[in-house]
Chains A and B, each alone.
Chain A
Amino acid sequence: MAQSQPSLVLLNRLLSLKEPSHFLLCIDSLFQSSFHFTRELVRCLPKETPIIYLSFETINAPSFATDFLRCDQRSIQDISNNVSKLHKDSTSKKLVLIDSLNFIKNEELASFIRSIADPQTIVFGTYHQNIPRTSPAQSELKDIPPALSLLQFIASSIFEISPINVVENGINKEGTIEEEVMESYLSKLYLPRNICNRDTYKLILTNRRKSGRALIYKFKIDSQSHTFSVFTEEKDTDEQQPQTEADLLRSLTTFSLTTSSRQQQAKEQVDLPFLEAQSFGAGGAIVYEYEKDDDYDEDDPYEDPF
């Protein structure tokens, strides 16, 4: 618990804009969107903080937004100019919320965020990682890095959100679903019920210090009760139990040496050939079936080795 305390303090300080972070990047997915986490951020803000909401995809202006700007048909320059005019005289820090950074061209992303963010203006932007990216060949600049990489370079803190009930392959627990199964659903853009976009979710925080050191923490966020706790991996709870071969192999290498429950189930259903041979109790017996041309003499005691 003593170990976990500083990470929770850091999270609370980041969400209340007390840390010197100018650009907070939130990476979400179709399985767990940033919707609930954004509301948690807003809840933690000091009361007088002006919130400028830049909407590229949001239809309904949230009640917490001091200003709501529809940006889907505006140029980046125009948005930037509008934001700089708002709350110019505010003495407190202001927050600029961007609902989706996916709608901004790669080559404009860095300059756009730089034009808005300053010590008094914190930018919190969400990037949806499941929206397919466009190859650099389609962009004007061919050598520009993908949007997500670029955003990760310039962000001072990164919040990565994922469903809490998706577990590593091989872990079977009621109410959870394996990563492998979720990936197969994702490839079909199929959202299973009671798994996606829950009130409770997992957050991985990467905080970059000025020294260059990056701190990574995992949290469990409950947006229903508004509580944050340190996330403990499922396997930690089973430490007391003897480790199986699969448990030992799981963290041994980066290769997947274990079998998932689905693979194990399929494996068990396969009938191996020569079942009869495997049923020998004594073991090591040699079964020889005589063929018609074999020369077998019943009187010879040394002919039959058995």
Chain B
Amino acid sequence: MSHQAQDFSLFRSGEVIPQALIDSQAFRSCFTYTDTQGTSSSWLTTCFVENLIFGTCNINKDANSFKTSNFSLKNPRSRVVIVSFLHGISFYNKTWVKYLGVESSFQGDENLSFFDLSTAEAPVDKLFKPVIAALKSSALPCTLILDHPELYFLTNQCSINEFMSQISYINSLANVLVSTFADANLIDLNETDSSTITHRQTEFLTKLYHRSQGIISIRPLETGRADDVTGTITVSKGSISFEDEAKNLETNEQQYLYLVNKEGFVKVFFR
């Protein structure tokens, strides 16, 4: 008796990031993944990096799955540019050694570049200058991962519209995956005071949702803590769909339970 594979996928085709999306020259996508204090999404960022470079996904198989791929860090499916406003590269290094096979002293290279903007204070119009230069100079398709960009506008004088404008511009150069916080205390749709953190984060999230093809919500269990479940992952359609060049792509709406064990290995199950 065969069992349905309980694999994590973002697309109806069963893939996490399909080749058609990476190869598409005219169409640029945006996916938003939200997390909370208790359910960090850093493991999913590593999972996306692995999938974009190797085409494999450790949570669907095992930690060595990247070794079976035809792609490598020198010959990737897509170049990956990570812009982190939360962590330095050392935060990811340990897991990347395990799941991407890089050296422990890895500081980024041409195909997996890392920009640490956790202490950035540059004005918003100059903030992404090196990132834009990296995206423009690449001959290979690039995918950009923005790691908690809200930390910039929450700590600097910058309007959400100005910040969104920058995101729009870099999204016009590459497919974008944005991770951001969605804790309950940061969201209030009725807050009207634009100087508060709640208003700014809610405005950012709602505007981001309206330009995303898919929303991934990583949340703790509503029923409380469990030993064998860390939380839930819900993949739902964003406000816009794929069309024209990418019309055959469709977001795979699904809900999963997931467990991050002591070794940091993640397992997902259908809900």
Residues of A near any B CB (own CB < 8 A): 28, 30, 33, 35-36, 57-60, 62-63, 70, 72-73, 100, 102-103, 128, 130-135, 137-138, 186-197
Given contacts A30-B206, A57-B207, contact A193 B255 (CB under 8 A): yes
Query: Which of B161, B182, B192, B211 is within 8 Å of A188, CB to CB?
Result: B182
Whether, in the assembled complex, B72 has its beta carbon less than 8 Å from a beta carbon of chain A, the answer is: no
Complex Cα distance, B191 from A137, in Å, reads 13
Complex Cα distance, B192 from A131, in Å, reads 10
Q: Is the CB of B26 within 8 A of A130?
A: no
Complex Cα distance, B193 from A76, in Å, reads 24
On chain B, the residues within 8 Å of A58 by CB distance are: 211, 240
What would 15 A/B residue contacts be, using CB atoms closer than 8 Å? A59-B30, A60-B244, A63-B243, A128-B206, A130-B206, A132-B190, A132-B206, A134-B192, A138-B193, A138-B195, A188-B184, A188-B187, A193-B254, A197-B237, A197-B238
Complex Cα distance, B194 from A132, in Å, reads 9
Given contacts A30-B239, A132-B199, A194-B253, contact A187 B234 (CB under 8 A): no
Complex Cα distance, B244 from A63, in Å, reads 7
On chain B, the residues within 8 Å of A28 by CB distance are: 239
Q: Is the CB of B241 within 8 A of A191?
A: no
Q: Is the CB of B192 within 8 A of A132?
A: yes
Q: Is the CB of B217 within 8 A of A72?
A: no
Given contacts A134-B194, A189-B187, contact A35 B211 (CB under 8 A): no
Whether, in the assembled complex, B209 has its beta carbon less than 8 Å from a beta carbon of chain A, the answer is: yes
Residue in chain B with minimal CB distance to A29: B239
Q: Is the CB of A35 within 8 A of B244?
A: no
B204-236 CB mask vs A (1 if < 8 Å, else 0) is 011101110001010100000000000000111
On chain B, the residues within 8 Å of A60 by CB distance are: 26-28, 243-244
Complex Cα distance, B243 from A7, in Å, reads 30
Chain B nearest CB, measured from A182 CB (Å): 13
Complex Cα distance, B45 from A55, in Å, reads 30
Contacts beyond the supplied A73-B165, A138-B194: 9 A-B pairs with Cβ under 8 Å: A58-B211, A60-B26, A62-B243, A130-B189, A130-B206, A132-B191, A138-B195, A189-B182, A193-B235
Query: Which of A102, A132, A138, A191 is within 8 Å of B189, CB to CB?
Result: A132
Complex Cα distance, B202 from A35, in Å, reads 21
Residue in chain A with minimal CB distance to B187: A189
Q: Is the CB of A189 within 8 A of B34?
A: yes
Complex Cα distance, B236 from A195, in Å, reads 9
On chain B, the residues within 8 Å of A138 by CB distance are: 192-195
Given contacts A57-B168, A138-B194, A188-B187, contact A35 B241 (CB under 8 A): yes
On chain B, the residues within 8 Å of A128 by CB distance are: 206-207, 210
Chain B nearest CB, measured from A54 CB (Å): 14
On chain B, the residues within 8 Å of A102 by CB distance are: 207
Complex Cα distance, B255 from A135, in Å, reads 37
On chain B, the residues within 8 Å of A132 by CB distance are: 188-192, 199, 202-203, 206
Complex Cα distance, B238 from A186, in Å, reads 14
Q: Which of B27, B171, B188, B217 gathers most chain A CB within 10 Å?
A: B217
Chain A nearest CB, measured from B127 CB (Å): 15
Whether, in the assembled complex, B164 has its beta carbon less than 8 Å from a beta carbon of chain A, the answer is: yes
Which 7 residue pairs of A and B lie closest in terms of their CB atoms, listed nearest first?
A33-B239, A135-B192, A193-B253, A191-B236, A197-B237, A72-B165, A131-B206
Complex Cα distance, B168 from A70, in Å, reads 10
Whether, in the assembled complex, B261 has its beta carbon less than 8 Å from a beta carbon of chain A, the answer is: no
Residue in chain B with minimal CB distance to A33: B239
